[in-house]
Structures are given as structure tokens and as C-alpha cells.
Amino acid sequence: MSKKEKNETQFRTSIGGQALIEGILMRGPTKQSIVVRKPDGELETKLEEPKFLRERYKICNLPIIRGSIVFIESMVYGVKALTYSASFLPEEEQEEPSKFDKWIEKKFGMEKAEKFIIGFAVFLGICLSVGLFILLPTLLAGFVSSLTDSAVVHNLTEGFIRIVIFLLYMVFCTRMAELKQVFRYHGAEHKTIFCYEKGLELTVENVRKQSRFHPRCGTSFLFVVMIISILVFSLVRWENVWIRMGLRLLLLPIVVGISYEIQRWVGAHDNWLSTILTAPGKALQRLTTAEPDDGMIECAIEALKLVIPEQKGQDAW
């Protein structure tokens, strides 16, 4: 790496984002912005100052513990942002509220109903992820127990099944027409953050030149979770498949916590080991990101500008 390239990439921001429906969520050290492209072409912006648990309680910022806290909070704010961005869709594209949604709104009022629905959506999302990527592989690998007594073979089989299910899920998502625009906004988010980290002016032209494959992406984090789960789960052996599934659930916060710490370390270093660790995640981003158009880049730039702290370096990784 040349001296010039090293200087360009030495700053790493803690600002991260999420692609929405025709929009971008950007989260800085103190502020969070949502920018959505409305059907009339105008940008709608929303700026918030969320209070995270790790800022209020010191225990929530301890290594390993903070991983699960950050993951859950990211899901909560992510679902809120998705709901907000979906509200700008043309009426004919918006889903009709279900009878259950209407009952909740009538029973508890608009504000409480929204909180309940978002909480329920986060709960279902976590259940789906845990069931699909953690419990199902454990259940399927249980059939191997009748073929061999080798714990090594059993754990490797379970890990292999877990990764295959994860990859198939990713491929399935790329086939959904509704997500193709989201993946392009995802690419715009990565490109914009790269541009900012290099100290370049945030213009459409400068952003367009950047890579859409970022080492600190949530996709990379999920893949790290898959790998770490293989290592951690291999430490616990139990013949009964149901007990084994229960132990997987108990160990899951540790898996997420270790994965988060690895992601933090990788994001702060640029060497042969970090390159190896980020390679699978970057490869997966070929599925979860796509090249954005200029309008999407404008959206990402506006979202990023809103959360850049006034004090230079406050958002350093």
C-alpha cells in the first residue's frame, strides 16, 4: 500500500447506516438521520437524538455484553426507520392494515399501537433469525448422531448446514424484486461512508467512484456470527438434540458479543489478518449491495451530513 493510500484510509468513522425503502438511515455518535425520496422526487428528512442503553448504563458498554445490546437496539431503530420510510410509498403500494393492527390501534391508541407493532416485528425478526440460522441447523445435524459418534464431524456438519442456509437465504433475498432498490441504496450508503473516510468532498461525483464493499457492514457481521457460532458451540457437547438446542440459545449472546468485538477490532486495523477476516463479508456484499443511481447517492450524502459531529474526530472508530 502506498503512503498516499494509507493516509486516505487511516480514518475510520463509527457512523453507520442502513438502507430503507427509497431511503437511507445514518447513525452517528449522537444523532440519527432518516432521508427518504418521496414519490414527487423531493427528499424528506428526519433527525433524531436517540438515547442508547450503553450511554445510560455502564454495564451495557462492557466488552461482550455490548454486542447483544447494540444488535437489539439496531434492530429496533431499524424497524422504526423502515416503517417510517414505507409511509411515503404511494397509497396503492402500501399494505392494508390487518384486522389485528386495527384492533391494537383502536384498543391502545396510535402511539402505543405503533410501539407494540414495532416491538412485535423485532421479536418476530429475532425468532426467525434464531430459528432459521441457529436451531434448524442444530436439529438437522442431529440426524448425523445416528451415523457417527464423532463430536468433530457432528459440529462441522452443523456449521456447514448453518452456512449453507445463510447463503441460500441471502440468494433468495436477491431474487425478491422489492429488495433490489434497497440493495442499491445499501451500495449508496457504503460509497458515501468511504468518501467521507477518505476526506473527500461529499459530492455525487466523488461518491460514485468509491467501492460499494465496506469491511464494517452488517452483512459481514452476520457472517462472523456464523463462524464464531461454530467455534463456541463446539465447546458444548450433549447427546439430546433438544437440550443441545437449548444450550445454543443460552450461548447465543456470547456468540454475538464475541462477533461484535471481532468486528470492532477488524474495523480499526488494516493488516493481513483483518483482510482475511473481512474477505467473506465483502464477497457476500456482492449479493446485498448494487450500484446506485445519482438520486440514491444524493439521499445518502444528505443523511450522512446530518449526523457528522461538529467536533472533528468525535466519530472516530
Whose cell is 441504496? That residue is 185
- Count the domains in the chain: 1
From edge to edge, which strands make up the β-sheet containing 23-27? 16-20, 23-27, 32-37, 43-48
Closest CA to 261 of 71, 55, 43, 117: 71
Helix (H) or strand (E) holding 308: none
pLDDT of residue 104: 63
Closest CA to 161 of 184, 122, 135, 130: 135
**16 in any annotated domain:** yes
**312 in any annotated domain:** no
Q: What is the torsion angle, in degrees rounded to the nearest 10, for the CA atoms of residue 207, residue 317, residue 19 and residue 72? A: 180
- Tens digit of each residue's pLDDT (9 = 90 or more) over 208-267: 999 999 988 888 888 888 889 988 988 887 778 888 889 999 999 999 999 999 988 988
In this structure, what DSSP letter does residue 95 have? P
Residue 307 near residue 33, CB atoms below 8 Å:
yes
Cβ neighbors of 99 (< 8 A, separation 6 or more) are: none
**180 in any annotated domain:** yes
Give the global pTM.
0.84
Burial code (b: 16+ CB inside 10 Å, e: under 16) for 162-177 equals bbebbeeebeeeeeee
Cα separation, 166 vs 121, whole angstroms: 20
Query: In the chain, which residue ranges form alpha helices assigned H by DSSP?
Result: 3-9, 53-56, 65-86, 99-108, 110-130, 136-141, 151-174, 177-197, 204-208, 218-233, 241-268, 272-288, 294-307
**315 in any annotated domain:** no
Task: Provide the β-strand partners of residue 33.
Answer: 26, 47
**Helices 177-197 and 294-307, axial angle in degrees (round to 10):** 50
Cα separation, 150 vs 159, whole angstroms: 14
pLDDT of residue 251: 93
pLDDT of residue 238: 77
pLDDT of residue 103: 61
Q: Give average pLDDT by consecutive 10-residue segment, the chain, 317 residues.
A: 46 92 93 94 93 83 90 90 87 61 64 73 86 90 75 85 91 87 96 95 97 88 88 83 89 94 86 86 91 96 95 86
40 exposed, middle or buried (CB, 10 Å; 0-12, 13-18, 19+)? exposed
Cα separation, 145 vs 224, whole angstroms: 26
Task: Provide the β-strand partners of residue 32.
Answer: 27, 48
pLDDT of residue 211: 95
Cα separation, 317 vs 305, whole angstroms: 17
**313 in any annotated domain:** no
- Tens digit of each residue's pLDDT (9 = 90 or more) over 173-215: 888 888 899 999 999 999 999 999 999 999 999 999 999 999 8
Question: Domain span at residue 199?
Answer: 3-307
**314 in any annotated domain:** no
pLDDT of residue 239: 75
Please name the amino acid found at residue 271: N
